[in-house]
Structure 1
C-alpha cells in the first residue's frame, strides 16, 4: 500500500472519520481507523457499532491496499504534519507518513478482527445542509443525557411530504423544529419516523454544514431497526437507530387560554445570562411581565445576593404574569432561537410555557415547564 496526498485533504478525511471513534473501548480495534487506497481515491472509515463514518478524497495511489491504525494517534499526527504532500506507505507491520523531512511511524492493528461495516441504506431524499445543521442544533439542547433512558437521548426525525420535523425531549422540555426537504424518487407516500442519538446527529450535521446539500439515506421498510445515513461533501455517516419513539407533543403544545408576550430575543438572552450569575443551585430566573408598563423584569437570587434587569415587552391576555425557570434550561432555549423576536405563550407559574420565533422563524418551538418556586 502506497499513496501520496496533500496534508489538508488527509487531515480533513481523518477528522471526519474520527467522529465515529469511541472515547473509550474494551475492544482495541474499535479505536482504529481503516484506510483504503485504490484507483486514485483514499477512503478513511471509523466504526464503534453505533456510528460508522467514512470520508473519501483524491490521492495518488502507487499501490492499492488497506491498513488499520490507531485513530486518535493518526489524528494527532495529521494536526502537526508539515504542509504539502504527504507520502504514506505500509512497510511490513508499520504504516509510515513522510512530509517536509518529517517521518512518522505507526504500528498497525489486526484488520481481520475489525467488524464489518454496516451497509448504507438507499438514498431517500436531500436537505439543505446548513439549514439542517442549524435545526439539529436547535432541538439537540432538549435531548436527555441519561443513558438509562435511551429514547430520551435521541432526536426524532419525521419525514412527511416535503417537510422534515426534528424533535427532542428530556421530560422537562420539548423542542420541535420544522424545515423543508426534498424527498427522493423512492420516498414513501406515508410519513416516516426514525429516532437517532442526538449527540451523534449533532456532530454529523455540523460536519456536513458546509457541503451545500446533504443526502438522507434511509430504508423505511426497516422499521425502528438498522441505520439511517447522511452523506455529502465526500463524507458519509451511518447512525444506529434507537428503539422506540418520543411521546407525542401535540396536546402539550396546545395552551388553551394562554396569555401571549413578545420580547427581543437577544436582549432577553443577555439579561438572563447576566442575572443567572447570582442564582444558586435550583434557584430559578424569574420573569415578571407587566402589560401596563410594557416591560419585563428579569431577576434572580435571594436576600442581598440579587440581580435584575428591565426590558421592553408586550403582554396580551393578562395585566401581570410571573413565571420562573431553571436558569440552564431557560438559557438553552433562548440561545436556540435565531429570530430577532420571541413569542411566549404563558399559562402561569408551575405550568407549561411555549416559546416560538416570530415571523418566518415560527417553525421552531420550545416548551419549558415553569417552576412553582418564585424568587
Structure 2
C-alpha cells in the first residue's frame, strides 16, 4: 500500500472515523482504524460491533493495499502534522507516515481479524443536514444517561410520511421535536430507538454537505440498524448503528391538551435570572417560580443558608401558581429553544410544565416544532 493525500483532508477523515472508537475495546483489533487504498481513493473504517464509521476521500494511490493501525494514535498524529502532503507506505508489519520532515512508523494489527462492517440499509429518505443537526441537538437534551436504563438513553425516531418526530426522556423531562424531510416512500410509517449519543455526534458531524441520507431497517427481533450518510470535504461519510432493543415509554400523552396558567417570558432574562438565583440552591434542591400579577418571582435557598430572590416581567394568563424545578434541567430546556420569548404552560403546580418558544405575534406559539416538558420538584418549606 502506498498513497499520497492532502494533510487536512486526511486529518479530518481520520478524526471523524476514530471518534466512535471504544475506550476499552473487548479485543485489541477493535481499537484499530482500517485503511484501504485502491484506484478509487481511500476508505477509512472503524467498527465495534455496535457502531460503524466509514469515510471515503480522494488520494493519489500508487499501490493498492490494506492496513490496520491504532485509530486514536493515527488521529493524534494527523492532527499534529505540518500543512504538507502526507505519504503513507506499508513496510512489512509496519506503516510509515511521512509529512514534510516529520516521519512516523506505526505497528499494524492483523487485518484478517478485523470484523466486516455492516452494509448500509436501503435509503429511507433525505433531510437538510443543518436542520437535522439542530433538531437532534434539541431532542437529545432530555435523553437519559443511566446505562442501567438503556431504553431511556435512546431517541425514538418516528417517521410518518414527510415528518420526522424525535422523542427523548430521562423520566424527569421530555423533549419532542418535529421536522420535515423528503421520504423515498411518502406513505412510510416507521419507528426506531437510536442511541442518543451516536445520533447526536453523527448529526453534528454531517453538516458539511447540504443533506443527510437516512437509511432505516427495523425488525421485531431488536436487530434493526440505522445508517446516515453525508458529504464532507474530499469525500463522503457513512455511519451505522444498531438500534436499541426495548419498548420506549408512551410519552406523547404526557403533554396536556389544555392549560390553566400560561406565562410568556423573555427567554434570555429568564435564563440569566435562573443562573443567578440557583447559585445559592443546595444540590438537588429546586428553584421556586411564583407567577402572579404580571411578575415571575424566582427564589432559592432556605433557613440559615444563603438565599436569593429576583423578579422579572411576565405576561400571565390564568390563575397564579407557585412551583419549583431542578435549575439545570430548566436551563437545559430554555437554552435549547431558538425563540427570544418562551411560553410556560401549567395545569397545576404539582404537574409538569410545557415549555416552548413563541413570538410576540398572536398565535405564533402554535407553530413551534420543539416542546420541552419538565417535572416539578418538591419545594423546601
- Bucket of the pairwise TM-score, normalised by the shorter protein: over 0.9
How big is the shift at 1:348?
A: 2.9
- Indicate if the aligned counterparts of 1:38 and 1:61 stay in contact, CA closer than 8 A: yes
Aligned-residue Cα RMSD (Å) equals 1.6
How big is the shift at 1:193?
A: 0.2
- Indicate if the aligned counterparts of 1:299 and 1:309 stay in contact, CA closer than 8 A: yes
The 1:308/1:209 distance shift into structure 2, 3 A limit, reads: farther
Match of 2:176 in 1: 176
Residue 45 (structure 2) pairs with residue 39 (structure 1): no
Q: Which deviates the most, 6-15 or 213-222?
A: 213-222
Q: TM-score, normalised to structure 1's length?
A: 0.95
- Alignment partners' CA distance in 1, 2:284 and 2:181: 40
Match of 1:315 in 2: 316
Match of 2:263 in 1: 261
How big is the shift at 1:222?
A: 6.9
Q: Which deviates the most, 222-231 or 96-105?
A: 222-231
Q: Which deviates the most, 232-241 or 269-278?
A: 269-278
Residue 224 (structure 2) pairs with residue 226 (structure 1): yes
Structure 1, unaligned runs of 5 or more: none
- Indicate if the aligned counterparts of 1:33 and 1:45 stay in contact, CA closer than 8 A: yes
- Is the partner of 2:43 in helix, strand or coil? strand
- Alignment partners' CA distance in 2, 1:151 and 1:189: 27
Structural mapping, 1:98-137, within 5 Å: 98-137=98-137
- Indicate if the aligned counterparts of 1:169 and 1:246 stay in contact, CA closer than 8 A: no
Structural mapping, 1:261-340, within 5 Å: 261-290=263-292, 292=293, 294-303=294-303, 304-318=305-319, 320-340=320-340
- Alignment partners' CA distance in 2, 1:210 and 1:262: 36
Residue 206 (structure 2) pairs with residue 208 (structure 1): yes
Structure 2, unaligned runs of 5 or more: 359-363
- Alignment partners' CA distance in 1, 2:208 and 2:349: 42
- Indicate if the aligned counterparts of 2:172 and 2:374 stay in contact, CA closer than 8 A: yes
Q: Identify the match of residue 240 of structure 1 among 239, 242, 251.
A: 242
Structural mapping, 1:24-63, within 5 Å: 24-63=24-63
- Alignment partners' CA distance in 1, 2:375 and 2:229: 36
Residue 252 (structure 2) pairs with residue 250 (structure 1): yes
Once superposed, which parts of structure 1, at least 4 consecutive aligned residues long, lie more than 4 Å away? 220-224
Match of 1:198 in 2: 196
How big is the shift at 1:299?
A: 2.4
The 1:190/1:56 distance shift into structure 2, 3 A limit, reads: closer
Q: Identify the match of residue 369 of structure 1 among 361, 369, 375.
A: 375
- Alignment partners' CA distance in 1, 2:191 and 2:315: 38
- Indicate if the aligned counterparts of 1:69 and 1:109 stay in contact, CA closer than 8 A: yes
How many residue pairs get aligned? The number is 370
- Indicate if the aligned counterparts of 1:323 and 1:374 stay in contact, CA closer than 8 A: no
How big is the shift at 1:346?
A: 0.9
Q: TM-score, normalised to structure 2's length?
A: 0.93
How big is the shift at 1:255?
A: 4.7
- Indicate if the aligned counterparts of 2:11 and 2:78 stay in contact, CA closer than 8 A: yes
- Alignment partners' CA distance in 2, 1:4 and 1:322: 66
- Indicate if the aligned counterparts of 1:194 and 1:224 stay in contact, CA closer than 8 A: no
- Indicate if the aligned counterparts of 1:228 and 1:239 stay in contact, CA closer than 8 A: yes
How big is the shift at 1:274?
A: 1.7
- Indicate if the aligned counterparts of 2:286 and 2:378 stay in contact, CA closer than 8 A: no
- Alignment partners' CA distance in 2, 1:198 and 1:65: 35
- Alignment partners' CA distance in 2, 1:108 and 1:190: 45
Q: Which deviates the most, 241-250 or 166-175?
A: 241-250
- Alignment partners' CA distance in 2, 1:211 and 1:257: 42
Q: Render the CA deviation track for 1:290-338: whole Å, top value 9, x for unaligned.
A: 1x2x1111221223512222211111111x2111001121111111111
Q: Render the CA deviation track for 1:136-160: whole Å, top value 9, x for unaligned.
A: 1111121111112111000011111
Residue 73 (structure 2) pairs with residue 67 (structure 1): no
Q: Render the CA deviation track for 1:102-138: whole Å, top value 9, x for unaligned.
A: 1011100111111111111011100111111111111
- Alignment partners' CA distance in 2, 1:222 and 1:20: 26
